[in-house]
Chains A and B, each alone.
Chain A
Amino acid sequence: MFVIIMGCGRVGARVAQMLTNAGHEVTVMDVQSGAFKRLGAEFKGSTILGDATDQEVLKRAGIERADAFLAATQGDNRNIMSSQIAKHVFGVKTVVTRIYDPLRSDTFAALGLHAISPTIIGANAFYEELTGDPASTGKV
């Protein structure tokens, strides 16, 4: 499948490498060209410098034929906005969004975004390691 990833940080770059290694076509976007260094010299996908909250830039990245879109920048708002563009304007089938703020994450999950909150996942894992109990016993 063809996947567009917005945000070439540690997570974005790693997912991009995993996908290309598994034989998928990948285009990574970032607003800083220096970020693409994280992909390494062996990277077989493409890179595009630009902001994925801009529909024209997304078109240049090939969003109209993308099977999946991942928004993994440091900014929740950017991730949420670009994911909604991918989903509602371009009809991308699978859209996954990183949202740090747990409350925002709930809201946009309810709005139909597939939100993954590293804050919740991390806190749950730490809790379980510390207590040996399932995270559900420490409800926030």
Chain B
Amino acid sequence: MYAIVAGGGKVGFFLARELIDQGHEVLIIENNPERAEFIANELGNVVLRGNADEASTLAEAGAERADVVIAVTGDDPRNLVLLQVAKRRFGARRTVARINDPRNEGLFRMLGIDATVNATQVMLSVLEQEIPHANLVPLLRLRNTDVEVVEAIVDARSAVTGSSLRDVDLPPESTIAVVIRNGAAFFPNGATVLESGDEVVALTRGMHEPRLRSLFFSER
């Protein structure tokens, strides 16, 4: 795989190092001469000095044969625009953006970026997992929709504990897809009774998530 990494800061540097270790062809685009020299000393001849948001730099980098272009600078507008240029002008097959402001995630998807990574969002997900009783964890959002896959852990205080699924007052447009009990997954039906310790994987629209959440909260 040929990967172009735009931005040779910490994220770009470590990402490139791992990709090289995995045997991929990698080119880092970095504008700062000292930083570019540092990367070349550490990783070898894998640096192109230049502004990744200038189309001529992407042309020099061979963006038209890139399997993936990854933009990891600390500047969201720059990441967005350079990936749009890579995709539309050079036909890069896949574009991945680091997003700094979580609010930009939907926008990037809407404007054609294939995948986004947002450290703030990841931190929030981890924190939600860590906070007691906030036991509904967003796993992923189905691409370009507002449908979310969420995981919840049923505990003794959850409103749903001991109820069969047909009696659970689920929010609209929500479904409990899989239950994991004692390490084994099964597909529940209306007669399934939820027990404390069950892990539940549910699909819901973003707008209904708070109601779904309340089912698994401690208020009975």
Contacts and interface: CB of A to CB of B under 8 A. Distances in A.
A32 interface: no
B81 A81 contact: yes
Chain B interface residue bracket vs A: 20 to 34
Interface in A81-127: 81, 84-85, 88-89, 101, 103-104, 106-108, 110-111
Interface string B209-220: 000000000000
Interface in A59-85: 75-78, 80-81, 84-85
Nearest to B80: A81
Interface in B85-130: 85, 88-89, 101, 103, 107, 110-111
B92 to A, nearest CB: 12
Contact of B88 (A55, A56, A77, A110): A110
A20 interface: no
A103 B86 CA distance: 12
A86 to B, nearest CB: 12
Nearest to A77: B77
A88 B107 CA distance: 9
Interface residues of A, number: 22
B134 interface: no
A63 to B, nearest CB: 14
Majority secondary structure, B binding face: helix
Contacts of A103: 54-56, 59, 85, 89
B53 A85 contact: no
A101 B78 CA distance: 13
Interface of B: 53-56, 59, 75-78, 80-82, 84-85, 88-89, 101, 103, 107, 110-111
Interface of A: 53-56, 75-78, 80-81, 84-85, 88-89, 101, 103-104, 106-108, 110-111
10 contacts: A54-B101, A77-B53, A80-B80, A89-B110, A103-B56, A104-B54, A104-B81, A107-B84, A107-B89, A111-B84
